[in-house]
Structure 1
Amino acid sequence: MSSQVIPAQAHGGPSYRWELTPTGSTAQFRGLAAVSKDVAWVGGTAGTVLRTVDGGKHWQNVSPAGAEALQFRDVEAFDAKRAVALSIGVGEDSRVYRTVDGGKHWTETFRNTDVNAFYDCFAFNDDKHGLAMSDPVDGKFRIAATSDGGQSWKVQSNAGMPAALPGEFAFAASGTCLVAGPGRTAWFATGGGDRPRVFRTSDGGRHWRVSDSPMASGQAAGIFSLAFRNPLFGVAVGGDFEKPTDAVKAASITYDGGRTWKLVPADKAPKGYRSGSHFVPWSPSTVVAVGPSGSDVSFDGGRSWKQFYDGSFDSVECAGHGSQAGCWASGAKGAVGRLVH
C-alpha cells in the first residue's frame, strides 16, 4: 500500500500528517512510549527496543540482552532514562524488564510462571503505580500490580474481578488494551466473546466493574484500544483485524467513565479496523487512531473521524506539555512516525 497524506483538517483548524523517522530496523513495533516531542521508546519483535532523544533523527538500539526470542508489545517510559518493557506470550514468555539508565542495562523484574496466563498490556498511573493485565485464568482476568515503578510485581487476588465471558480475552495489539487514569483509576477492554466489554477500577486494580459495549466482537473482533481524556470522557476503537479495511462497529465514546458507551455510526467512524488511539496534549477534544489500513483524527472527541494517512501503524501515543508535547506512532517493518500538525 502507498503511504499518502490525505488532508484532514478541522474547520479553520490544524491539518495532520505523519513524519516518518528511519529506525534502521525491520521489527514490528507494537510497543510504544512517548515522553515528549523529542523522546520516545519503541518495543517489538525479536526482543527489540529502540530509543530516540532527538525527535527521531537517530534511534539507539537499547534491546535487553538475551531477549531475542521475545516480543515486546508494550513499553512505558517515565523519561529518557527510565522505562519498563512488557513481553507477551504464554507462560514464561510474559515478562517485564526495567531500565534506569536509558537502556544500557535492563533488569528482569517479573516473569509469569502460570502456563495459563498470557499478559497483554500494562499501564502506569504515575512513576510508581502500575498494573499489568493477563487474559483469563480460572475464568477471570488476572492483574499484577507494582507500587515501586516496576521494580517488583504482585499478582492480585481475583476476588474483586467479574467473571470472564466464554471466549473473552484482550488484544495485545498496541499496549492500549489497558490504560491508567488519575489517582488509582484504570480501564481495560476486551473482545473474543459474544460482546466486547470495558472493565474499570478506582482502587488500583483490587475491585473492578464491567460494562457491555455496542462495538463488534468475535474471534478476531472487539475493542483493541482505549483512550481517556479524563476520568469520565473516553474513546474506544477496534473492529475486526481479519477485516482491516472494514469499519465494523469500530468506535464508541463514553462520558461517564466507561459505565455506558455510545456507538459511532459507520459513516462517521474510522475507515477500518484500528488498533491504537490517544488524545493529543494540545487540544481537549482531538484524538488520533491508527491501524494497518490508515490513521484517522477526530476533532470532536470521537464523534466523527477523518482519515489523514493510508499507511500502516499499530500503536500511537502522545505525551508532554506545551512546546514539548508530541505524538508518535509505530508499526510493522520498523515504521515510526512523529505527528506534525
Structure 2
Amino acid sequence: MDRKSRRDGKATTRIDMKNLFIILLTLTLIGCTQKQIQPEIEQLDSPTSSLLQAISIVDDNTAWISGHNATFVLTTDAGASWQTFSHPTGDSLQFRDVHGFNSEKAILMTAGSGPLSRIFTFTEPDQWEENFVMQDSLGFLDCIDFWDGQRGIAYGDAIDDYPYILLTADGGKTWNRADSTNMPKAGKGEGGFAASGTCVTTGENGKAWIATGAGGNCRFLITEDYGQTWNEVDSPLAKGDAAGNTSISFIGNTGVVTGGDLLITDDYTDNCAFSTDGGLTWQLSNRPQTVGAFYGSAITQIGEQTFAFACGPKGLDYTFDMGQTWTNLDSLNYWAVSIRGNSGYASGTDGKILKISLQP
C-alpha cells in the first residue's frame, strides 16, 4: 500500500469512529430524554361505604380489599366491577388485613383486643373457617402476609416482653407463636399499627420485615429463614407514644417504610425512609407533599425506574427518585395502597377505591 492509501485509510477510520460516537451520543440523549412515566388515577365505583383499609392484589385482574363492618370486596376484572361479602355474625368485626390466594380463596384477619383478633379462611361463595382466636386479653393482631401458598406470618402487639409473631405452614389452617428465644425482646408498649395491613411484608427465600412502633419504639425485625430467627435494625422515623413505623414494602432489596406521629395531623414529621440493602440501613426521604402521618406504602419497579407510594388521612403521594422529590396524586383520606407491576389500588374512608396505573 502506498503512502496516500495509508493516509486515506486512517482518515476513513477517524470518520467512522466520529460517526459512531455521534450515534452513541444521540441514542444516550434519546434515552435520557424519554418521557417520565406519570401515574394515572381513576376513582372506581365502590359497592360499600365502609372504611377499606387493606389490599391484596393476586394478579392483573384479581384483587381483594377488606375493611370495617365485617366487609370485604373482590374484583376479577381489574376493578371494573366488585363483589361484596360480609361475615355472617354481623358487622362488629374489623377486617384489618386480607391475603388473597386466588379469585376464590382469601385469608382475613380481624383486629381488636383479645378474642376480637381472629384469622379466618374464606372460600367462595360463602364458606368460612375460623383458624385462630386470640386467647390473651392483652393480645392485638396488626397484620398478616404469606411467602407462598402454605407459609405465612402474622404480627401483633408484644406480649410477655417479646414480639408477638405467629407462623403457619399449612396455608393458614393452624397458627403457632414463633420461638421467642430466637428474637430480640420487645420494648415497652411496642407493637404495630393495624392501619393498612402492611406492618409486615414477606420477600424471597424466607425473608420478611416487620415495622414496629408505639410506646417510643421504632425499629425493624428482620428474618431470613421464614421467621425462625430474627434480628433488629433501628428506624429513622419519628418516635412517640403514637408514632413509629406503620407500613413497610419491598421489591427485591429496595424498600420503603412509612409512618410518623399519628397525633400530628397538620405538620411534617419524619415519616418516610428508603433502603437499598434489604433493610440493613435506611435513609430518610425529603419531605413529601402530604402532611401528617402515612398509614400505607407500596413500591414497584418498571424497567430501571422505581416508584414508591405513601398514603394517609391527608392524601396520597408518589416518588420516582427514592424520595428526593414527591408529587401529590390525591388529597382524600387513604389508609392503604398496593401496587403490583404497573397497576394497583388505594382505598380508604367511605369505601373509596382508587385505581392507579403506571403505563410506560
The two structures share one fold, judged by TM-score above 0.5: yes
Could you list the runs of 5+ residues in structure 2 that have no partner in the other structure? 1-32
The structure 1 segments of at least 4 consecutive aligned residues displaced by more than 4 Å after TM superposition are: 268-271
Q: CA deviation at 1:282?
A: 3.2
SS at match of 1:194: coil
Q: 1:190 to 1:20 in 2, by over 3 A?
A: same
Deviation string, structure 1 residues 76-104 (Cα, Å, up to 9, x no partner)? 11221121110011111111111233x52
Relative to structure 2, which stretch is displaced further, 154-163 or 237-246?
Answer: 237-246
Q: CA deviation at 1:179?
A: 0.6
Q: Hey, what's the Cα distance between the residues in 1 that align with 2:135 and 2:90?
A: 17
1:111 is aligned to 133
2:330 to 294, 306, 309: 309
Query: Does the alignment pair 1:63 with 2:99?
Result: no
Deviation string, structure 1 residues 148-199 (Cα, Å, up to 9, x no partner)? 2212212222111211112322111100001111121111111123341111
2:298 is aligned to 278
Query: Does the alignment pair 1:265 with 2:282?
Result: no
Contact persistence 1:27–1:44 (CA under 8 A): yes
Q: 1:126 to 1:67 in 2, by over 3 A?
A: farther
Contact persistence 1:273–1:291 (CA under 8 A): yes
Q: CA deviation at 1:11?
A: 7.5
Contact persistence 2:285–2:322 (CA under 8 A): no
1:332 is aligned to 349
1:14 is aligned to 37
SS at match of 1:304: coil
Tell me which protein shows more helix as a share of its residues.
2
Contact persistence 2:158–2:191 (CA under 8 A): yes
1:213 is aligned to 235
Q: How does 1:194-233 map to 2 (within 5 A)?
A: 194-230=216-252, 232-233=253-254
Q: CA deviation at 1:269?
A: 7.0
TM-score where L is the length of structure 1: 0.90
Contact persistence 1:192–1:217 (CA under 8 A): yes
Q: Hey, what's the Cα distance between the residues in 1 that align with 2:100 and 2:255?
A: 22
Q: How does 1:82-101 map to 2 (within 5 A)?
A: 82-101=105-124
Percent identity, aligned pairs only, is 33
Q: CA deviation at 1:27?
A: 0.7
Q: Hey, what's the Cα distance between the residues in 2 that align with 1:159 and 1:63?
A: 39
Could you list the runs of 5+ residues in structure 1 that have no partner in the other structure? 1-9
Q: CA deviation at 1:60?
A: 1.1
TM-score where L is the length of structure 2: 0.85
1:289 to 286, 310, 314: 310
Q: What one-letter code is carried by the residue in structure 1 that aligns with 2:263? A: E
Q: What one-letter code is carried by the residue in structure 1 that aligns with 2:40? A: R
Contact persistence 1:235–1:302 (CA under 8 A): no
Contact persistence 1:253–1:303 (CA under 8 A): no
Q: CA deviation at 1:262?
A: 1.5
Query: Does the alignment pair 1:79 with 2:102?
Result: yes
Deviation string, structure 1 residues 305-326 (Cα, Å, up to 9, x no partner)? 221211111001123x5xxx52
Q: Hey, what's the Cα distance between the residues in 1 that align with 2:163 and 2:339?
A: 27
SS at match of 2:204: coil
2:51 to 28, 33, 40: 28
CA-based RMSD of the aligned residues comes to 1.9
Q: CA deviation at 1:215?
A: 1.0
1:188 to 175, 200, 210: 210
Contact persistence 2:296–2:336 (CA under 8 A): yes
Report the count of equivalent residues: 325
Deviation string, structure 1 residues 104-155 (Cα, Å, up to 9, x no partner)? 2121111111112111001111121110011100111111111122122122
Q: 1:178 to 1:339 in 2, by over 3 A?
A: same
SS at match of 2:297: strand
Question: Which structure is higher in RCO with an 8 Å CA cutoff and minimum separation 6?
Answer: 1
Q: How does 1:45-60 map to 2 (within 5 A)?
A: 45-60=68-83
Q: CA deviation at 1:249?
A: 0.4
1:300 is aligned to 321
